[in-house]
Amino acid sequence: MTLQTLKVTVDDGMAVVVIDRPETLNALSRQVMDDLDAWFAWAASAPSVHGVLLTGAGPKSFVAGADIKQFKGMGPEEGKAFAERGQAVFSRIERFPKPVIAVVNGFALGGGSELALACHMRVASNTARFGQPEVNLGIIPGYGGTQRLPRIVGKGLATELVLTGDMITADRAYEIGLVNHVFAPEDLMDGARKLLRGILNKAPRAITLTLEAVFASDLPIERGLQHEAALFGQACATEDFDEGVDAFLGRRTADFKGR
Ligand code: COA
């Protein structure tokens, strides 16, 4: 696969995907969106990929938002299509069947913050800054920010962030539950790897089913619970379930096969 704007390495099931446009602080051009879409579509069923760390190139920025150059002269129809395209790409990431962790190494602004929100978890360096500055440009978040931010940090705080456009520090992002862990910059990648490795040591089918069940938490609770029960049933049909229970009862470490 030819990817013009991403650098991808895969090691022992763990893919590190780096958005690589440091000269624009990794702004999301049309090409970046196409590359993300193509790679995540491919990786969803690639047996070599068990989980993903998504980050930005350079010491300064995760992603500083949509590429503002694209906005010049954009009309209403084009704007709607622009938002729909971004939403589709980010929904593909949110629905990715294996864990995706945003490794936020600097600015996560606008579409960059929305990209992090579409990942299943977020970790950040203590130099990271989060914000939805769209109102400064006379627009609104269009890649899911008005929908995912309230679901993650609550409506009141999300409303303040999208209305003021203010940036918050990594420590504040941790305080409000926007990021799961904050690390010193030099420890960020190792911390993210350790978190993902711990997850990848579990039964892979159970991980996929769990992600799907958590996604259903946006449904009304009765439907979410029905979904959870159906997925629980599916987990009981796996070989790894037999192995996990046998290993526990036999006081040994489970040897999961992903079946
Ligand atoms: N789109 C396109 N280019 C961007 C960009 C974006 N979202 N964000 C930064 N860049 C470019 C700058 O134009 C600059 O390019 P240049 O060197 O050719 O002039 C380069 O990246 C470095 O950015 P600069 O602004 O010089 O760095 P800074 O340290 O002074 O400020 C930010 C950093 C992140 C505060 C500032 O770049 C910024 O506010 N970016 C826009 C953030 C934003 O509004 N995103 C939401 C878009 S909806």
What does the pLDDT read at residue 33? Answer: 98
Percent of the chain with pLDDT over 90: 100
Q: Whose CA is nearest to atom 43 of ligand 1?
A: 65
- What pLDDT score does 36 carry? 98
Distance CA 7, CA 157 (A): 34
pLDDT of res. 171 = 98
Domain 6-200 in CATH: superfamily? 2-enoyl-CoA Hydratase; Chain A, domain 1 (3.90.226.10)
pLDDT above 90 (res 1) = no
For the structural domain made of 204-249, what CATH number should be given? 1.10.12
Q: Evaluate if residue 184 carries a pLDDT over 90.
A: yes
SS3 15: strand
Contacts of the segment 6-14: beta carbons below 8 A, 24+ positions apart: 6/32, 6/35, 6/36, 6/39, 7/57, 8/39, 10/48, 10/49, 13/48, 13/49, 13/50, 13/51, 13/200, 14/50, 14/51, 14/52, 14/53, 14/193, 14/196, 14/197, 14/200
Ordered by start, the domain boundaries in the chain are 6-200, 204-249
Is 160 a residue of the active site?
A: no
Write the residue with the smallest CA distance to atom 32 of ligand 1: 64
Q: Mean pLDDT throughout 241-250?
A: 96
The two three-digit tokens of residue 119, written as one number: 């990942």
Closest CA to ligand 1's atom 45: 65
Task: Calculate mean pLDDT across residues 209-214.
Answer: 98
Nearest-angstrom CA–CA distance, 81 and 133: 20
CA 61 to ligand 1 centroid distance, Å:
10
Q: From the CB of 110, is ligand 1 less than 6 Å away?
A: yes
The band of 89, judged by pLDDT with boundaries at 50, 70 and 90, is very high
Q: Does the annotation mark 23 as catalytic?
A: no
The pLDDT tens digits for 149-163 are: 999 999 999 999 999
Averaged pLDDT for residues 56-77:
96
Question: Whole-number mean pLDDT of the chain?
Answer: 97
Q: How far is Cα 47 from Cα 82, in angstroms, rounded to an integer?
A: 32
Task: Say which residue the tokens 């992903």 belong to.
Answer: 258
**Position in ligand 1 atom list of the atom nearest CA 25:** 21
Q: What angle do CA 148, 152, 153 make, to 5 degrees?
A: 115
- The stretch 77-94 carries a mean pLDDT of 98
DSSP of 158-215: HHHHHHH---EEHHHHHHTTS-SEEE-GGGHHHHHHHHHHHHHTS-HHHHHHHHHHHH
Asked whether 66 lines ligand 1 (CB < 6 A), one says yes
The pTM is what?
0.97
